[in-house]
Amino acid sequence: MALKDYLFTSESVSEGHPDKVCDQISDAILDAFITNDVKLGIEDNSAVNTRLGCETLATTNKIVIAGECRAQDPYMRKYRGQAVMNRELIAQVARDVVRDIGYEQDGFSYDGADIEVLLHGQSPDIAMGVDARVGGDNLGEQEGAGDQGLMFGFACTDSEVYEQGSYMPAPIYFSHKILKVLSEKRRSGELPDLLPDAKSQVTVRFVDGKAVGATKVVVSTQHREKDKGGTTYTSGMVKEMIRKAVASALPDGWMPGTDTDFLVNPTGNFVVGGPDGDCGLTGRKIIVDTYGGYAPHGGGAFSGKDPTKVDRSAAYAARYLAKNVVAAGLADQCVIQVAYAIGVADPMSLYVDTRGTGKVDERQLEKVLAEIFPLRPTAIRRGLQLNKPIYRRTAAYGHFGRKPETDGGFSWERTDLVPELKRAFGGK
């Protein structure tokens, strides 16, 4: 029997967190390559369009960018007959990201960091299995999956009473929102003594399966050593500085009423932060990126991976289907798993679990979902229009629970399958 009264905690990290700096650099490089594809008029099923698996490491005034890639000029050029990276252009992409985040510290800055680019060409063995080719059974041109693995999507009604359209677990949704508010106020100058690195954690009380309030809120935020009057900051001073902003990110009545339930910089000062204080690495915040631990995760990271890689695109597709199931009123919660083999277009399996909240048969739901949105990599990329430079914006504050954007960003957050799903199950 499912537990109905419980506490659940999720965390988020800001765009200035070391790991998120790396995620954003990797995705900004992907965006640059895809933008170049668009300029060159390369079709989205071409055998020469971008393939990228980009990993970034950041530490004290050092950024290392590594991985494998296939891209077009000007990001790749010929040297003695071999395709090599244009390292200067790629390094500039990384500097632009660091500058935008706001790092101008002695230990880490956009102009002071040494950047090493170690990207190399994609393995032809991988490319052979992934590039689009004519499939059987009238499938047309199909790509094989970029790797084996399993991906999960999830949606629920937790946050709908507070934020319509998100269909996300309340703990991760409000953890993200706290940090977004603090970032906006830092950037606007309203809270000028905040610095980019920050983390949040929200514990939510559920009663009869519904999110009703926060019992604990934890925020760790980097700050200047002294205020403009020359007074050295204490954690208590930082708490009072951000208290109103944190409260504004939560529903009315959710802000904890005692200081023991609202913790800010529990270890004391947080002056040295970002990659200068803690080494960052792409792909190390996969639970922050998804559902805050409230739903399963297949283990694959997203950032720095082009959309032929099902770690990313199939996780987006699974979220898209789960969200539409819940938005259609077919369940209050929906978990979807899909699995692939490298080089094979059709998924190995599709699994749907509505956690006892479903209004329709789950096995029938599996059949309907596979029919209305085929889960082959080519179909996912084209159906969600993923061959666009839309990825850096996903790399902080979660890939899910965002609003679809007019240029195709967060297309997996659309609910346009709702009418078809309702019709399939006898609704209107």
Q: Where exactly are the structural domains of the chain?
A: 6-11+170-272, 18-124+132-139, 149-155+296-424
Helix (H) or strand (E) holding 374: none
Confidence of residue 141 (pLDDT cuts 50, 70, 90): low
33 phi and psi angles, rounded to 5 deg: -65, -45
* Average confidence (pLDDT) over 174-180: 98
CB neighbour class for 78 (10 Å; exposed up to 12, middle 13-18, buried from 19): exposed
Q: Can you tell me the distance from the alpha carbon of 266 to that of 67, in angstroms, rounded to the nearest whole number?
A: 37
The class of domain 6-11+170-272 in CATH terms is: alpha beta
* Average confidence (pLDDT) over 208-230: 95
The class of domain 149-155+296-424 in CATH terms is: alpha beta
**Chain centroid offset of residue 108 CA:** 24
Confidence of residue 81 (pLDDT cuts 50, 70, 90): very low
For residue 140, pLDDT over 60 is answered with: no
| Stated pTM of the model | 0.93
For residues 50 and 67, the model is more confident at 67
CATH of domain 18-124+132-139: 3.30.300.10
In this chain, the answer to whether the domains covering 6-11+170-272 and 18-124+132-139 adopt an identical fold is yes
